[in-house]
Amino acid sequence: MGETRNAVLDGSKCTVCGTVAFPVNDMCSRCATRTTTAVELSTQGRVWAYTIQRFPPKSPPYIPPAEGFSPFAVGYVELPEGIKIQAILDCDDFTELDRAPVSLVSTSPVPRFVVGTTQPSGARQ
Ligand SMILES: [Zn+2]
């Protein structure tokens, strides 16, 4: 596989009240106007809530990996824009997930974040 562009989540932002939405919504969920514009969402966020999927989800839609199922974390990542994105959360140890800083690594088929920051210069806390 060749180079892929850095993962980016495409959202929308209301030009009247500034409310950000994901996925893209052409009508603002807060003030109900049709004045949204496309925005690229932050790729860094923080785990807001999570749970551990300890058994294989129903398949389809779940596609088990070739090496077999192993438990994984799913949850919500809060972005600086003030919204929460449902995502798969990659980590070495589930106990490190609570309020952990995470970085977006892919968007397909669902958003996926990994614990840690990919840009050491962006020292957000
Ligand atoms: Zn609005």
Q: Are residues 7 and 63 located together in one domain of the fold? A: no
Q: Are residues 49 and 109 located together in one domain of the fold? A: yes
For residues 121 and 57, the model is more confident at 57
Whether residue 109 lies inside any domain: the answer is: yes
Residue 109 is part of which domain span? Answer: 42-118
What is each CA distance from 38 to 11, 52, 82, 109, 112, in whole angstroms? 6, 33, 16, 20, 21
What's the sign of the alpha-carbon dihedral 123, 6, 88, 73?
negative
**Count of structural domains within the chain:** 2
Residue 120 has pLDDT above 80, yes or no: no
Give the Å distance between the CA of 22 and the centre of ligand 1.
14
CATH number for 71: 2.40.50.840
Give the Å distance between the CA of 83 and the centre of ligand 1.
14
Strands 112-115 and 84-90: parallel
Give the Å distance between the CA of 40 and the centre of ligand 1.
17
For residues 80 and 6, the model is more confident at 80
- Looking at residues 43-56, what average pLDDT do you find? 97
Omega before residue 111 within 30° of 0, cis: no
Phi, psi of 96 (to 5 degrees): -90, 0
Q: Which of 15, 57, 62 is nearest to 39 (CA)?
A: 15
Q: Are residues 65 and 79 located together in one domain of the fold? A: yes
How far apart are alpha carbons 116 and 125 in whole angstroms? 11
Residue 83 has pLDDT above 60, yes or no: yes
Q: Which two tokens stand for residue 32?
A: 């109900």
Whether residue 32 lies inside any domain: the answer is: yes
For residues 63 and 40, the model is more confident at 40
For residue 5, what pLDDT band results from cuts at 50, 70 and 90? low
Least confident stretch, 22-26, 77-81, 107-111, 119-123: 119-123
Give the Å distance between the CA of 39 and the centre of ligand 1.
14
Residue 104 has pLDDT above 70, yes or no: yes
For residues 121 and 33, the model is more confident at 33
Q: Are residues 33 and 47 located together in one domain of the fold? A: no
